[in-house]
Amino acid sequence: MLPNRPLIMHYNKKLYLTVTVFVLFFAMMSLPVKAQTNSDGSSPQFLYPEFAKSKVRMKNGQIQYIVLNYNTVSEKMVFQKDDKLYDMVNPEMVDTVFLHDSKFVPAGKVFYEIVLAAPVAFFVQHKGELMSPGTPAGYGQPSQVSNTKNISSVELSSGNYNIQLPTDYTVKTELIYWIRKDGNMFSFVTERQFLKLNPEKETDLKQFIKQNKIKFDRSPDMVKLAEYYNKLSQ
């Protein structure tokens, strides 16, 4: 049983500090950048357009209700209080986060969304990457590449991914799927990778994917695939 301690957060928006839910210490940091937002006003590094009141179930049995979103770049749960943003820095104390209509579980220092809780469980990792402004690539066409040097030049270090992004910075999100079977975790992104993990079921799985037009970038399709996979595994 983990000790009964308050959920520890880490502040990242124009202020940088480590805090508990109840006691906050502030250290000023200047980040004079222009906002980068989606057309709906949300910040592109967050999984959901809006922060939402969420339930956090701790491993010691405690329940906490806080306003959360998920930052795909830092891969951290982000807590909102008084219009300020804090990282959750102790995911090892968390059992499950109920965010919007999804459930997330800690996986090391990051969180995976549960696709299907079953004997062979399926998860998805939402992994974002900051993309720097386009640079000339010949014939006057820009190329958009990930560039950590450009990112650091606008003071976006590993601990400052909750700030509003500078103009022209975008976030590219990749879906990495995981299955847990026999106590081991295996990842895949494409159909080919998934089938290679399951050579003994390849014929049946390939037929199911084709007949049901399964797309690996659509959550409802992956739920169907996970359910079928578990039926095959019975």
> Rounded distance, CA 88 to CA 110, Å?
10
For the chain, the average pLDDT equals: 76
Instruction: Indicate whether 230 pLDDT > 90.
Output: yes
Under a CB-based contact definition with an 8 Å cutoff, are residues 179 and 197 in contact? yes
Helix 202-211 vs helix 219-232: crossing angle, to nearest 10: 150
User: For residue 34, how far is the Cα from the chain centroid?
Assistant: 24
> Rounded distance, CA 126 to CA 128, Å?
6
Q: How far apart are the first and last CA of the chain?
A: 33
pLDDT bracket for residue 10 (50, 70, 90): very low
Bridge partners of residue 15, in order along the sequence: 28
Residues with Cβ < 8 Å from 190, sequence gap 6 or more? 216
> Rounded distance, CA 176 to CA 45, Å?
16
Smallest Cα–Cα separation from 13: which of 69, 89, 85, 78? 85
Give the type of residue at 222. Answer: M
> Rounded distance, CA 75 to CA 187, Å?
17
pTM here is 0.72
Q: What pLDDT is stored for residue 31 in this prediction?
A: 27
Q: Where are the alpha helices (DSSP H) in 98-218?
A: 148-153, 191-197, 202-211
Q: What pLDDT is stored for residue 119 in this prediction?
A: 94
What mean pLDDT do residues 43-71 have? 93
pLDDT bracket for residue 5 (50, 70, 90): very low
